[in-house]
C-alpha cells in the first residue's frame, strides 16, 4: 500500500471492515484535558542515526513508505481523537478516514550544517508547536545536515497516545536488530488495516452514556478501597524513620517553577551507563537512586550559580510504570503512576545526598504501593471533561501558577531502553533521547533513556524559565564525575 493509497484509496473499503472505536482511559484523556496554548502535552523522541557507507541519507519517500508499510505494527499512529458531544464521557479513538502519511512524515534541514546547538534549537522550536487534533497525534521529522553521515530523526507524539514503556515497544516495531537494504520486505503481521467512518453523533452519545453507567456502578467499591488504602498509608507514616515529601506542602519555589509560555529550550547529553552502574554497586543503591542523585546534584549547582538555592530540598515527581512483568508488551496508552521523593538539594555532600535519596525513595515506594499503583488511574476515570478543561485553561490564562507553590519542582523519568544495536534500513541507531512535557508551575522535565552502554539524558524546559538547558546537562555530567570519584574511596551505603 503506497502513501497515496493511504490518502485516497480507502473509500471503497471503508465500512467493509468495522474497527470498533475505543474510549480513552481517564488517564489518557487527562493529557488532552490538560493541554493549553502554553502547556503542550506531547513527548519527544530524538534518534541519531549513522547512515551506511555510500548512503548519504534516508530518502524521505522511502521513509514514508517504511512507516506506511508498518502501520499494522503501529496501531496508535493510525488513530485520531473524536470528542463526545457535550463532554458526556471521555473521547474515543477511531481509525482516521483521512490519514495522510505525507503530513505526518516531514523533512527539515539544520540552518548550520553539523551544529549540535542548531539541532537542539530546531527540536525546541518543534516542541513549542501543538499537534493537530484533527489528525493522529504524532509527527516525524527527518533532520538533515547533522555531522556528516549522521541523521537525526525526531518523533513528536502526544502523551495521550503512549507512555515511555509503550513508546519503547513501538520503537522496536519500526527498527531491526540487523542492517537492512532499502526496500527490504515488511515484517510479517496482521492483515492491512483500513480506516473507518467517523462515528455518528447518536452512536457517540449512546455509548458514552452506557459506559458512564458502568463506571458509576464501580464507584462504591473504589471509594471503599481508597479509604482502606489511605488508612494503611496513615498508619505506615507514623512508623517511618524518614518521611517522603508532600507535594505542595513541602515544595520550595525556584525560577523554573512558574507559569508557562509556549517557548521551549532543549538539550541532550550522553553519559556512560557502566559508570552509573559502578556507582550503584559501590554504594549499594539502585540505578534510579543514582539518576535522582545526579539530577539533585546538578540542580543544586545550577541554583547556586544563580544565587537561588532554597533552604528546603527540591521535590521530584517520578513516573512509575504500573505494567506487570508478565504482561504482554503494550503498543499504546498510559499505565503509569507517580511517586514523590526528595532530590536532597539541601545536602552539600554528594554521597550523603545519594544515601538520603535512597532511603526516602524506598519509603516513597512503600507508600505508593500501599495507596495502590492503580489508584490514580482508577480515579481519573471520573474526571469530567468540560469542567476540567475549563479549569486548566483558566489556570493557564490567569497565570495562577505564579501565585501558588508548585506541586513539585521537576519531573525526573528513567526509562530502560534497548539493550542491543538497532537499525533503520542500513542506518545504525547511535543514540536515542526522550523527554516529556513541562507543566504549569513545573517548567523543567529531565528524562533518561538507556541504550546499549549509554545513559542518554534529555532536558526540556520553558525557555523563559531556563534559557539554556545545556547548563543543566553540563551540571549532570559534573555530578556523575563527582560521585564516580567518591565511589573509589567510600564503602557501600547500608540500608
Count of other CB atoms within 10 angstroms of residue 427: 24
- Residue 212 domain-assigned? no
Same domain? 150 vs 278: no
Q: Which of 63-77, 280-294, 320-334 has the highest mean pLDDT?
A: 280-294
Instruction: Return the C-alpha torsion angle 238, 242, 244, 249, nearest 10.
Output: 70
If you average pLDDT over residues 4-13, what whole number do you get?
A: 36
pLDDT of residue 26: 92
Q: Comparing 276-290, 392-406, 416-430, 453-467, which segment has the lowest mean pLDDT?
A: 416-430
If you average pLDDT over residues 464-491, what whole number do you get?
A: 90
Catalytic residue (one of 159, 358, 368, 470): 159
Beta carbons of 195 and 13 less than 8 angstroms apart:
no
Question: pLDDT-based confidence at 437, cuts 50/70/90?
Answer: very high
- Residue 215 domain-assigned? no
If you average pLDDT over residues 285-306, what whole number do you get?
A: 97
Same domain? 155 vs 276: no
- Residue 428 domain-assigned? no
The pLDDT > 90 percentage for the chain reads 67
Radius of gyration of the chain (CA): 23
Cβ neighbors of 11 (< 8 A, separation 6 or more) are: none
DSSP 331: S
pLDDT of residue 221: 95
Nearest to 384 by CA among 3, 29, 21, 20: 29
Alpha-helix runs per DSSP H in 414-458: none
- Residue 231 domain-assigned? no
Residues 95 and 91: their CA atoms lie apart, in Å, by: 13
If you average pLDDT over residues 239-267, what whole number do you get?
A: 94
pLDDT of residue 191: 55
Residues 52 and 179: their CA atoms lie apart, in Å, by: 9
Pairing state between β 423-424 and 427-435: antiparallel
If you average pLDDT over residues 64-91, what whole number do you get?
A: 90
- Residue 331 domain-assigned? yes
Beta carbons of 43 and 166 less than 8 angstroms apart:
no
Q: Which helix (H) or strand (E) holds 274?
A: helix 273-283
If you average pLDDT over residues 69-81, what whole number do you get?
A: 87
Mean pLDDT of the chain: 87
Same domain? 59 vs 174: yes
Residue with cell 539493550: 419
- Residue 476 domain-assigned? yes
The pLDDT > 70 percentage for the chain reads 88
> Would you call 159 a catalytic residue per the annotation?
yes
C-alpha cell at 65: 513508505
Residues 280 and 287: their CA atoms lie apart, in Å, by: 6
pLDDT of residue 206: 95
pLDDT at 193 over 90: no
What CATH number is attached to the domain comprising 326? 3.30.559.30
What CATH number is attached to the domain comprising 150? 3.30.559.10
Same domain? 270 vs 168: no
DSSP 187: P
pLDDT of residue 293: 98
Of 157 and 11, the one with more pLDDT:
157
Same domain? 176 vs 251: no
If you average pLDDT over residues 128-153, what whole number do you get?
A: 90
Residues 203 and 47: their CA atoms lie apart, in Å, by: 41
Same domain? 349 vs 398: yes
pLDDT at 41 over 50: yes
Cβ neighbors of 486 (< 8 A, separation 6 or more) are: 350, 351
Residues 21 and 174: their CA atoms lie apart, in Å, by: 25
- Residue 230 domain-assigned? no
Question: pLDDT-based confidence at 192, cuts 50/70/90?
Answer: low
Same domain? 482 vs 344: yes
Question: pLDDT-based confidence at 6, cuts 50/70/90?
Answer: very low
Of 207 and 175, the one with more pLDDT:
207
Could you tell me if residue 447 is left (phi over 0), alpha (psi between -120 and 50 degrees) or otherwise beta?
Answer: beta
Supply the range of the domain harboring residue 460.
Answer: 243-417+439-487
pLDDT at 218 over 60: yes
Compute the half-sphere exposure of residue 350: CA atoms within 13 Å on the CB side of its CA. Answer: 24
Question: pLDDT-based confidence at 288, cuts 50/70/90?
Answer: very high
pLDDT at 140 over 60: yes
Residues 68 and 77: their CA atoms lie apart, in Å, by: 10
Same domain? 265 vs 139: no
Q: Comparing 192-196, 223-227, 481-485, which segment has the lowest mean pLDDT?
A: 192-196
pLDDT at 269 over 70: yes
Q: Which 3-state string (H, E, C) describes 244-302?
A: CCCCCCCCCCCCCCCCCCCCEEEEEEEEEHHHHHHHHHHHCCCHHHHHHHHHHHHHHHH
Strand order in the sheet with 79-82: 22-23, 92-95, 79-82
Count of other CB atoms within 10 angstroms of residue 151: 24
Could you tell me if residue 165 is left (phi over 0), alpha (psi between -120 and 50 degrees) or otherwise beta?
Answer: alpha
pLDDT at 164 over 80: no
Residues 36 and 27: their CA atoms lie apart, in Å, by: 17
If you average pLDDT over residues 21-42, what whole number do you get?
A: 94
pLDDT at 333 over 90: no
Q: How many domains does the chain have?
A: 2
pLDDT of residue 80: 94
Of 109 and 114, the one with more pLDDT:
109
C-alpha cell at 25: 482511559
pLDDT at 223 over 50: yes
Do you know the residue count of the chain? 495
Same domain? 83 vs 143: yes
Residues 255 and 235: their CA atoms lie apart, in Å, by: 36
State the Cα angle at 185 between 183 and 186, rounded to 5°: 110
Residues 241 and 293: their CA atoms lie apart, in Å, by: 20
If you average pLDDT over residues 266-295, what whole number do you get?
A: 96
DSSP 44: E
Same domain? 388 vs 475: yes
pLDDT at 129 over 70: yes
Same domain? 258 vs 349: yes
Count of other CB atoms within 10 angstroms of residue 133: 16
If you average pLDDT over residues 376-392, what whole number do you get?
A: 92
Question: pLDDT-based confidence at 182, cuts 50/70/90?
Answer: very low
C-alpha cell at 393: 485553561
- Residue 222 domain-assigned? no
pLDDT of residue 113: 72
DSSP structure string for 101-169: HHHHEEEEE-SSTT-HHHHHHHHHHHHTS---TTS-SEEEEEEEEETTTEEEEEEEEETTTB-HHHHHH
pLDDT at 187 over 80: no
pLDDT of residue 55: 63
Same domain? 255 vs 177: no
C-alpha cell at 180: 537492512
Question: pLDDT-based confidence at 16, cuts 50/70/90?
Answer: very low
pLDDT at 14 over 80: no
Of 58 and 140, the one with more pLDDT:
140
Amino acid at each position: 500500500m503506497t502513501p497515496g493509497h493511504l490518502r485516497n484509496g480507502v473509500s471503497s473499503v471503508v465500512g467493509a471492515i468495522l474497527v470498533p472505536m475505543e474510549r480513552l482511559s481517564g488517564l489518557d484523556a487527562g493529557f488532552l484535558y490538560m493541554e493549553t496554548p502554553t502547556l503542550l502535552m506531547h513527548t519527544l523522541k530524538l534518534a541519531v542515526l549513522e547512515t551506511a557507507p555510500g548512503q548519504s541519507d534516508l530518502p524521505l519517500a522511502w521513509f514514508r513508505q517504511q512507516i506506511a508499510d508498518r502501520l499494522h505494527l503501529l496501531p496508535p499512529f493510525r488513530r485520531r481523537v473524536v470528542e463526545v458531544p457535550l463532554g458526556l464521557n471521555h473521547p474515543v479513538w477511531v481509525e482516521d478516514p483521512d490519514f495522510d502519511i505525507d503530513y505526518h512524515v516531514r523533512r527539515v534541514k539544520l540552518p548550520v550544517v553539523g551544529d549540535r546547538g542548531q539541532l537542539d534549537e530546531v527540536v525546541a522550536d518543534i516542541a513549542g508547536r501543538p499537534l493537530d487534533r484533527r489528525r493522529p497525534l504524532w509527527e516525524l521529522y527527518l533532520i538533515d545536515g547533522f555531522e556528516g553521515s549522521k541523521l537525526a530523526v525526531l518523533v513528536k507524539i502526544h502523551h495521550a497516545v503512549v507512555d515511555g514503556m509503550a513508546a519503547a515497544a513501538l520503537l522496536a516495531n519500526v527498527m531491526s536488530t540487523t542492517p537492512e537494504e532499502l526496500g527490504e520486505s515488511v515484517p510479517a503481521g496482521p492483515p492491512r488495516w483500513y480506516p473507518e467512518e467517523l462515528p455518528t453523533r447518536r452512536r457517540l452519545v449512546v455509548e458514552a452514556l452506557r459506559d458512564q453507567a458502568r463506571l458509576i456502578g464501580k464507584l462504591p467499591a473504589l471509594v471503599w478501597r481508597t479509604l482502606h488504602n489511605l488508612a494503611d498509608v496513615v498508619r505506615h507514616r507514623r512508623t517511618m524513620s524518614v518521611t517522603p515529601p508532600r507535594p505542595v506542602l513541602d515544595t520550595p519555589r525556584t525560577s523554573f517553577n512558574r507559569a508557562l509560555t509556549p517557548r521551549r529550550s532543549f538539550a541532550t547529553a550522553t553519559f556512560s551507563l557502566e559508570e552509573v552502574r559502578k556507582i550503584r554497586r559501590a554504594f549499594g543503591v539502585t540505578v534510579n537512586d543514582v539518576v535522582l542523585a545526579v539530577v539533585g546534584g546538578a540542580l543544586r549547582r545550577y541554583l547556586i550559580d544563580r544565587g537561588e538555592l532554597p533552604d528546603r530540598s527540591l521535590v521530584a515527581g517520578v513516573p512509575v510504570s504500573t505494567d506487570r512483568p508478565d504482561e504482554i508488551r503494550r503498543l499504546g496508552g498510559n499505565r503509569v503512576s507517580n511517586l514523590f521523593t526528595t532530590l536532597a538539594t539541601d545536602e552539600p555532600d554528594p554521597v550523603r545526598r545519594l544515601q538520603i535519596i535512597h532511603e526516602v525513595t524506598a519509603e516513597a515506594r512503600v507508600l505508593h504501593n500501599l495507596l495502590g499503583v492503580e489508584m490514580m488511574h482508577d480515579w481519573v476515570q471520573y474526571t469530567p471533561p468540560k469542567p476540567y478543561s475549563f479549569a486548566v485553561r483558566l489556570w493557564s490564562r490567569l497565570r495562577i501558577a505564579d501565585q501558588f507553590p508548585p506541586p513539585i519542582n521537576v519531573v525526573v523519568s528513567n526509562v530502560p531502553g534497548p539493550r542491543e544495536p538497532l537499525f533503520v534500513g542500513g542506518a545504525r541507531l547511535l543514540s536515542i533521547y526522550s523527554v516529556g512535557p513541562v507543566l504549569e508551575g513545573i517548567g523543567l522535565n529531565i528524562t533518561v533513556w538507556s541504550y546499549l552502554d549509554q545513559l542518554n539524558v534529555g532536558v526540556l524546559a520553558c525557555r523563559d524559565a531556563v534559557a539554556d538547558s545545556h547548563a543543566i546537562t553540563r551540571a549532570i555530567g559534573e555530578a556523575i564525575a563527582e560521585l564516580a570519584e567518591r565511589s573509589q574511596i567510600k564503602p557501600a551505603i547500608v540500608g
